[in-house]
Structure 1
Amino acid sequence: MKMTKIYEGSYQWIAYGRDQNKPDNIIDTNQYVVRAANRCLILDPGGVELFAPMLAAVLNHVPVEQITDLFASHQDPDVISSLGLWDQALPKAKLHAPALWEGFLRHYGCDTIEYVPIPDKGGVINLDSVELQIIPAHYLHSSANFHVYDPHAKILMSGDVGAALEAPGAPMFVDKFDAHVEKMRYFHQRWMPSNQAKRAWIERVRNLEIDMLAPQHGRIFKGDDVKRFLDWFEALPVGVAI
């Protein structure tokens, strides 16, 4: 599993992904870790098949007792079916997840970990001196869905928004936007059900300072490619059964 530091200051953002050993019929995912002084947050920790390599990768940088928080953006198994195993490994941690999905996420075996329900309006996650904003992204594509914004690092973890399906060995960052578009088009048109929700999200995030837009699948957008993506997504009709 590839590890890339995407922000480094008084704390770190680390991206994990590009699993070369995954079966061909399993979607490749990006996992993100925010490491503060004595606390660590794992954003959408991945499917059950990723638990062992993901735990080993994180423990190379963080003692297990400092992994204090998990975040689940929505209910899909590709990004959170490992929760039952994390529950066993981190019994004192907190799981920040949509309030609407608690009854569903418990089916993954979340018996011990403390569930911190996120209301529809969003909220915050505090890690020592780091405050992360939980941004509503409802119906993109889940009916209760959230993204995580770091106003200091200017990073938006955007869940399935911005996702692209490509080979595990692909680069971590978008390098040629126009070519990358065709790796995103079908996914967004088929999986995003609501143009109204899309427009509401775009209006919300255009008010944020974003240097990096980091999706769950595919490559990270940075610099001018963030605006290019927002412009492209805004013009794209979604909710299309192709």
Structure 2
Amino acid sequence: MGFVLFESGQHRCVAYSDLVRGDDGVQANQFLIKHGDASALMDPGGALLYNPLVLALGRDVRPHEIGLILCSHQDPDIIGAIDKWLLYTKATVVCSKLWGRFVPHLVPHYMENAGRERYLLVDDEGARIPLGDAHLVALPAHFLHSVGNLSFYDPTSRILFSGDVCSGLVPSGREYAFVEDFEAYRPCMEGFHRRYMASNRVLRLWVDMVRDLAPEMIVPQHGMPFRGEAMTQMLDWLSRLDCGIDLLGPMHYRHQVTREATPAHY
């Protein structure tokens, strides 16, 4: 069942948060933005989620009528099933120009109508994306997990869809709800951000942009959404967080390796 983030007139934003089965993969959210007859699906995921997502979307939109597939970055939990969306819809894929030549590697060469005409490539400074008589904005979030990372802002709902930035690693099946107590929730975010964000300098640049934008909500690809005081506290924390290359030293680059690889446990 989708979680309605915003609904007013002909504009509707829905989150799907509970489609990952148990421990099969990391919990991930997918988002639908619908404006009249126009619709955009954000970060739809890989093969693990394709069938469950199609079934969930059926309550809100005819999946084959989706017009845009918005991709914040290139990971499998973002675009792993892009071949199916290209095959079964007429949607245009929106992604960073850095990944425009890599995404087609996920698409079989024999598929018709899956060439460059199906892509909108976003320059580093971002872009306006038409959605019916409204629009969305692709915003730079480069090096915040991916060198060509994007956030997507919906001016109508004033929701910032932040991708992996602001994400929390929560168990599958946790009830989707706005964060009320940031300090209690912070442990879900800390390890992920310290490892996957490039540096505090880049985080501060992104946070300054977001503060100037002043969204009503920040909704990440993993974990819970933010608004109000919890959102303010979360941005303050990000602006001070040492992460990525800030934490590296010679001890992380050694050629003497004694530890064996271990079986997967998520």
Normalised TM-score (structure 2): 0.86
* Same amino acid, percent of matched pairs: 34
Question: CA–CA distance in 2 between the matches of 1:13 and 1:176?
Answer: 24
Question: CA–CA distance in 1 between the matches of 2:141 and 2:222?
Answer: 16
* Conserved 8 A contact 1:151-1:209: no
In structure 2, which of residues 161, 164, 167 is the aligned counterpart of residue 163 of structure 1? 167
The reply on whether 1:12 has 2:12 as its aligned counterpart is yes
Post-superposition Cα deviations, 1:78-113, rounded to whole Å, max 9, x if no partner, equal 1210111111111x2111111111121111117534
- 2:201 maps to 196
Larger radius of gyration: 2
* Conserved 8 A contact 1:32-1:43: yes
- Secondary structure in structure 1 of the residue aligned to 2:94: strand
* Conserved 8 A contact 2:136-2:154: yes
Flag structure 2 segments of 5+ consecutive residues without an equivalent: 253-266
Post-superposition Cα deviations, 1:162-201, rounded to whole Å, max 9, x if no partner, equal 1111111223221321110011000000111122211111
- 2:87 maps to 88
With over 3 angstroms needed to count, the CA separation of the structure-2 counterparts of 1:3 and 1:106, relative to structure 1, is same
With over 3 angstroms needed to count, the CA separation of the structure-2 counterparts of 1:51 and 1:65, relative to structure 1, is closer
In structure 1, which of residues 120, 126, 134 is the aligned counterpart of residue 124 of structure 2? 120
Offset of 1:151 from its aligned partner? 2.1
After TM superposition, list the pairs within 5 Å mapping 1:11-90 onto structure 2.
11-19=11-19, 22-90=21-89
- Secondary structure in structure 2 of the residue aligned to 1:149: strand
Question: CA–CA distance in 1 between the matches of 2:85 and 2:65?
Answer: 13
Question: CA–CA distance in 1 between the matches of 2:217 and 2:175?
Answer: 15
Question: CA–CA distance in 2 between the matches of 1:122 and 1:17?
Answer: 27
The reply on whether 1:153 has 2:157 as its aligned counterpart is yes
- Secondary structure in structure 2 of the residue aligned to 1:224: helix
Post-superposition Cα deviations, 1:52-90, rounded to whole Å, max 9, x if no partner, equal 110111122212453111111111111210111111111
The reply on whether 1:230 has 2:235 as its aligned counterpart is yes
* Conserved 8 A contact 2:39-2:66: yes
Normalised TM-score (structure 1): 0.94
Alpha-carbon RMSD: 1.6
Question: CA–CA distance in 1 between the matches of 2:39 and 2:175?
Answer: 25
Paired residues in the alignment total: 239
- 2:191 maps to 186
Offset of 1:38 from its aligned partner? 0.8
Moved over 4 A (4+): none
Flag structure 1 segments of 5+ consecutive residues without an equivalent: none
Question: CA–CA distance in 2 between the matches of 1:168 and 1:129?
Answer: 36
